[in-house]
Amino acid sequence: MIAENESCLDNFIQAVISNPVLSSILVSSLILFAVWYIRDSLKIDHVDQKSVLVTGCDSGFGNLLARQLDHRGFGVIATCLTEKGAEDLRAAASPRLKTLLLNVTDSASIERALEYVRAEVVERGLWGLVNNAGVASPIGPTDWMQVEDFKNVLDINLMGLIEVTLKFLPLVKKARGRVVNVGSVMGRLAMTGGGYCLSKWGVESFSDSLRRDMYHFDINVSIIEPGFFKTGVTSLEVIERDLLRLWNCLPSEVKDSYGDKYYEEYVKAQSISMKLLRSSDISKVTNCMEHALTARYPRTRYGVGWDAKLLWLPLSYGPSFVSDSLISALLPSPKGKIVQTNQVDVSKT
Ligand SMILES: NC(=O)c1ccc[n+]([C@@H]2O[C@H](COP(=O)([O-])OP(=O)(O)OC[C@H]3O[C@@H](n4cnc5c(N)ncnc54)[C@H](OP(=O)(O)O)[C@@H]3O)[C@@H](O)[C@H]2O)c1
């Protein structure tokens, strides 16, 4: 078997060498890859003279990134939503790391943070702005949602990110720095109802326009597109609690269209897929964020995680019927009935 494989490989190599077109394609590809690899590995200097602001550092990616950048020597300004989150982070970092309270949906809070950062960075400007704060829940079937369920998520993940960026951009311009926006594979392929996918599509679009507009000012804009990772955003406890709230508020005709058992079946299927897909190694995400801040030539998009690279991103380029079939197969089908308005449901009389 091994001898057979070796002779196949020999035949392939012979075929490539003897064919000038194939061999020049192969050599050019290898040279291109080597050039790309070397270019991608080049780093910036003097990180100890650079300041980076990260939002949403109470937990998850933001928390790890703040500690990672602090360890590398950056002047980190880590913004947290809660005092407890800020206290815990300060205890785990060097005295160089500064924390601030920032709610990205509150303009006054953003303004206070801006005043602080302006005084902190002075003439140097802000090298990095990492828009990481975000929430996901409620996610679930679209007709279980109220418009407020969309608004809350969009306010944090999209409008908050836009307002923070607009306010801090002059300081980033001063440093000819970087903006790193945390999107998601769900901003490339909508997998569930609710505001989350919409907000991340918005982040993609906002970042694309910002990148093109800021190109003239030497500012790089990168988008991080993680797959599924085990953090607060993918906490099954939070997602299931919100889903139950939505289910309990549904009018009986919507519940009937899904069937009595649908909620339990949905939660079970969601829990199985999440447990299968979520990775615990969140440093894969923070390493990409760090690359976007420290590489001489940062990438425009960083797909992170095996599920993002091998499944969701390729699916997003494929025909809709393929992604529709796969996503439908991950969730149960409704087994209820729809009562027509001109029809009497006799089982209820
Ligand atoms: N985990 C994943 O699989 C995944 C995949 C793709 C993209 N993402 C994105 O990654 C980013 C970070 O999320 P994560 O996974 O690290 O989850 P996480 O641990 O829940 O982190 C989100 C952070 O945002 C903070 N936050 C929530 N609302 C805020 C507000 N109004 N103002 C300021 N901060 C606020 C949270 O604070 P509290 O903890 O105090 O609520 C938390 O620290 C999010 O944008 C998320 O959409 C995550």
pLDDT in tens, 105-145: 999 999 999 999 999 998 999 999 999 999 999 999 999 99
**Structure-token pair, residue 13:** 């190599």
Please report whether residue 11 resides in a domain. no
User: In whole angstroms, what is the distance from residue 214 CA to residue 212 CA?
Assistant: 6
Please report whether residue 272 resides in a domain. no
State the alpha helices, DSSP H only, in 43-128.
Answer: 60-72, 83-92, 107-121
Residues with CB under 6 A from ligand 1: 55-56, 58-62, 81-82, 85, 102-105, 132-136, 156, 160, 182, 184, 226, 228-229, 231-234
* Residue whose pair of structure tokens reads 């679209």 in the numeric block: 142
Please report whether residue 274 resides in a domain. no
CATH number, domain at 169?
Answer: 3.40.50.720
| Digit-coded pLDDT (tens) for 165-206 | 999 999 999 999 999 999 999 999 999 999 999 999 999 999
Please report whether residue 198 resides in a domain. yes
pLDDT exceeds cutoff 50 at 219 = yes
Please report whether residue 117 resides in a domain. yes
What is the model's pTM?
0.92
User: In whole angstroms, what is the distance from residue 160 CA to residue 129 CA?
Assistant: 13
Please report whether residue 241 resides in a domain. no
**Structure-token pair, residue 163:** 């307002």
The domain in which residue 226 lies consists of 45-137+145-230+280-318
User: In whole angstroms, what is the distance from residue 344 CA to residue 322 CA?
Assistant: 38
Q: Measured from the CA of 226, which atom of ligand 1 is nearest?
A: 6
Please report whether residue 188 resides in a domain. yes
Please report whether residue 219 resides in a domain. yes
Mean pLDDT for the chain? Answer: 94
Q: What is the total count of domains within the chain?
A: 1
| Cβ–Cβ < 8 Å for 224, 60 | no
